[in-house]
């Protein structure tokens, strides 16, 4: 069995568990700028460059990954959300992108292998791709709606570089997450296919308000119609809100998608200081409602979630049957910002 077949087989038996937020764990360490920068000699201030820690603090990143594995996570994502040439340019570290990604995947692969030796159970090494701070669908200049800071081919090249580094380090799956612009996600899909046409892809959209649309205006159903051609291993939602606010939107996606559903919410909404107050038990209780409703195959945590949150979520998901994959009728499905269905 290949990686995708293995994951689908296990997801047919139980609800699988993804890990939580690296950013939250790094912030809790209260690192200084020198801790981020290490001895690399980069000219700009590196404080907040969490991805660089794969090179300068690999033991710390490994410790965080291990804490999520100890909490019950089976899908272990890399600390590489901003490890792309566009985002790293803000730190003057764009020339280190491949090295950062390779190190990120290697750290997680080592934890996954160590855990498998303990109990014989598979852990999946998931290479995480963030959306970058550019958008293909919208102009940053209100006086020039047609202007774009970047084009599709350039963004695809950016993702190719990142994916190649992740795969070199041991990533088995690519997770295109926090999708605020559907066209950005398509560039990432295009890049993954350029690297390896058989590389499994997971896609996770983030909605910008409770109407259930992302920043490029796509509804959840339209987003699915736009990316279904990629045959993703999973489709889902992450970030955005807490589990309570996401439940209706996860249910809507579950009803139309003929693949696995993965959802990993924030620990509620941030407070006035940007911190997350929702405790592990509260988050898990809300995720449990998803499990009871039978709308998820994989659950985990995003911003604000800790190993304690993941442990509670893993416990809450026990005993519930995984969602049965939808089998939609044959039809032509088209997408603008809303889907359009043509009967077969």
Task: Dump pLDDT digits (tens) for 56-108.
Answer: 999 999 999 999 999 999 999 999 999 999 999 999 999 999 999 999 999 99
Q: Give residue-wise pLDDT tens across range 203-216.
A: 999 999 888 999 98
Q: Is the pLDDT of residue 23 over 90?
A: yes
The band of 142, judged by pLDDT with boundaries at 50, 70 and 90, is confident
Percent of the chain with pLDDT over 90: 87
> What are the pLDDT digits (tens) for 277-304?
999 999 999 999 999 999 999 999 999 9
Q: Would you state the pLDDT for residue 224?
A: 95
pTM for the model stands at 0.95
Place of tokens 């295009």: 190
The mean per-residue pLDDT over the stretch 112-138 comes to 96
pLDDT at 340: 67
Give yes or no for residue 275 having a pLDDT over 90.
Answer: no
pLDDT surpassing 90 at residue 273: no
CB-count burial class (<10 Å; 0-12, 13-18, 19+) for 75: buried
- The pLDDT of 154-173, averaged and rounded, is 98
Domains for the chain: give ranges and CATH numbers. 3-24+58-343 (3.20.20.330)
- Report whether pLDDT(274) > 90: no
Return d(Cα 21, Cα 153) in angstroms, integer.
Answer: 30
**Average model confidence (pLDDT) for the chain?**
95
**Residue 342's pLDDT band (cuts 50, 70, 90):** low
Specify the 3-state DSSP secondary structure of 203. Answer: strand
Looking at the chain, the whole-number percentage of residues with pLDDT higher than 70 is 97
Mean pLDDT of the region 120-142:
95
Is the alpha carbon torsion for 274, 275, 280, 285 positive or negative? negative
* DSSP-assigned states of every residue in 216-282: T--BHHHHHHHHGGG--SEEEEEESS-HHHHHHHHHHHHHH-SSEEEEEE-SS-B-TTS-B---HHH
Backbone φ and ψ for 29, nearest 5 degrees, come out as -80, -15
In tens, the pLDDT along 314-337 reads 999 999 999 999 776 667 766 776
Does pLDDT of 17 surpass 80?
A: yes
Give residue 344's pLDDT band: very low, low, confident or very high (50, 70, 90): low
């Amino acid at each position: 069995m290949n990686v995708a077949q293995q994951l689908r087989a296990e997801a047919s038996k139980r609800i699988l568990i993804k890990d939580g937020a690296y950013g939250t764990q790094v912030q809790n360490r209260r690192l200084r700028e020198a801790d981020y920068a290490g001895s690399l000699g980069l000219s700009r201030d590196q404080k907040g460059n969490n991805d660089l820690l794969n090179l300068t603090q690999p033991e710390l990143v490994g410790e965080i990954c291990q804490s999520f594995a100890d909490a019950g996570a089976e899908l272990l994502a890399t600390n590489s959300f901003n490890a792309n040439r566009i985002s790293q340019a803000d730190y003057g570290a764009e020339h280190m992108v491949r090295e950062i990604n390779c190190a990120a995947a290697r750290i997680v692969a080592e934890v996954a292998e160590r855990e498998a030796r303990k109990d014989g159970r598979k852990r999946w090494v998931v290479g995480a791709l963030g959306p970058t701070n550019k958008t293909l669908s919208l102009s940053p200049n209100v006086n020039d709606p047609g202007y774009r800071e970047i084009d599709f081919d350039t963004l695809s090249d950016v993702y190719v570089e990142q994916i190649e580094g992740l795969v070199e380090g041991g990533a088995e799956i690519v997770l295109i997450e926090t999708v605020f612009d559907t066209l950005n996600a398509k560039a990432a899909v295009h890049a993954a296919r350029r690297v390896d046409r058989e590389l499994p892809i997971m896609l996770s959209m983030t909605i910008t308000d409770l109407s259930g649309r992302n920043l490029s205006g796509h509804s959840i159903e339209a987003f699915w119609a736009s990316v279904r051609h990629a045959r993703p291993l999973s489709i889902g939602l992450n970030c955005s809100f807490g589990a309570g606010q996401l439940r209706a939107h996860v249910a809507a996606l579950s009803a139309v998608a003929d693949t696995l559903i993965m959802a990993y919410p924030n620990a509620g909404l941030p407070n006035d200081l940007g911190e997350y107050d929702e405790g592990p038990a509260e988050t898990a209780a809300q995720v449990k409602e998803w499990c009871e409703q039978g709308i998820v195959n994989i659950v985990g945590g995003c911003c604000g979630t800790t190993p304690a949150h993941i442990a509670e979520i893993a416990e809450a998901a026990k005993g519930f049957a995984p969602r049965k994959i939808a089998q939609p009728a044959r039809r032509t499905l088209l997408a603008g910002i809303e889907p359009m269905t043509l009967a077969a």
